[in-house]
């Protein structure tokens, strides 16, 4: 186990090396969550649909994605489709993370949509609104608001899962830690340093989500 002075010295020395991977990790996480949210909302709407075929498609997607490891999904996208479409490292990892997180986000949206009182849907329909308009203007805004805390947790999970992109040679945080440890044979130092980077990002984003949740709660109370 490295001593504290050595850790601090190496943290300061290697900080410039981690800047670009830190930005890449953040970009990968944000892009995957944004795309995953769109995917998740789409399949959530299929799952609450009255059409049996729509519910079947959503259930199959969720079962397959949640039942297979993320690393396998990344490899399938990166190595399996490059002969047809060369997605590259970034988009292979982004789409794999998005598809993976989309299955969990779909369940988040499905739960929040179904948590909205049925009377509000009936009220919208009684006013002459179509089911689609009722979902869009009455149900979804409330469901999205209730989804903020679990979506924040999913963002944090996606951030930590982004480290798997290192296995397709993508230069994110964990890959940089592996490279430095291989060069110096000082594995524990760099893994502790990269763990600190992940922890700081998670704490910052957790604080942002908590503040957003409190602000939305105050607006709802007014």
How many folded domains does the chain comprise?
A: 1
Q: How confident is the model at residue 168 (pLDDT cuts 50, 70, 90)?
A: low
Q: How confident is the model at residue 127 (pLDDT cuts 50, 70, 90)?
A: confident
* Mean pLDDT, rounded, for 191-218: 82
Instruction: Assign residue 105 the CATH number of its domain.
Output: 1.10.3720.10
Residue 23 has pLDDT above 80, yes or no: yes
What is the pLDDT at residue 39?
93
Tell me if 101 sits within 8 A of 44, measured CB to CB: no
Residue 171 has pLDDT above 80, yes or no: no
Q: In terms of residue numbers, what domain contains 41?
A: 4-221
Q: How confident is the model at residue 21 (pLDDT cuts 50, 70, 90)?
A: confident
Q: How far apart are CA 13 and CA 172, in angstroms?
A: 18
**Which is more confident, 120 or 14?**
14
What is the pLDDT at residue 167?
66
Residue 139's closest CA among 159, 112, 178? 112
Q: How confident is the model at residue 165 (pLDDT cuts 50, 70, 90)?
A: confident
What does the mean pLDDT of the chain come to? 82
Q: How far apart are CA 131 and CA 101, in angstroms?
A: 28
Residue 222 has pLDDT above 70, yes or no: no
């Amino acid at each position: 186990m490295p001593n504290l002075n050595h850790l601090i010295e190496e943290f300061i020395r290697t900080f410039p090396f981690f800047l670009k991977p830190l930005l890449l990790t953040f970009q990968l996480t944000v892009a995957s969550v944004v795309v995953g949210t769109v995917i998740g909302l789409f399949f959530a709407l299929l799952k609450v649909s009255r059409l049996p075929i729509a519910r079947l498609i959503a259930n199959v997607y969720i079962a397959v994605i949640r039942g297979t490891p993320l690393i396998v999904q990344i490899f399938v996208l990166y190595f399996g489709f490059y002969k047809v479409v060369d997605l590259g490292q970034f988009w292979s990892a982004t789409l794999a993370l998005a598809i993976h997180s989309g299955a969990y986000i779909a369940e988040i949206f499905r739960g929040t949509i179904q948590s909205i009182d049925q009377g509000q849907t009936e009220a919208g329909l009684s006013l002459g609104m179509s089911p689609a308009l009722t979902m869009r203007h009455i149900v979804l805004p409330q469901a999205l608001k209730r989804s903020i805390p679990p979506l924040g947790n999913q963002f944090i999970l996606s951030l930590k899962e982004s480290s798997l992109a290192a296995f397709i040679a993508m230069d994110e945080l964990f890959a940089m830690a592996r490279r430095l440890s291989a060069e110096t044979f000082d594995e524990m130092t760099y893994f502790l340093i990269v763990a600190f980077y992940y922890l700081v990002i998670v704490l910052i984003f957790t604080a942002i989500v908590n503040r957003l949740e409190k602000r939305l709660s105050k607006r709802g109370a007014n």
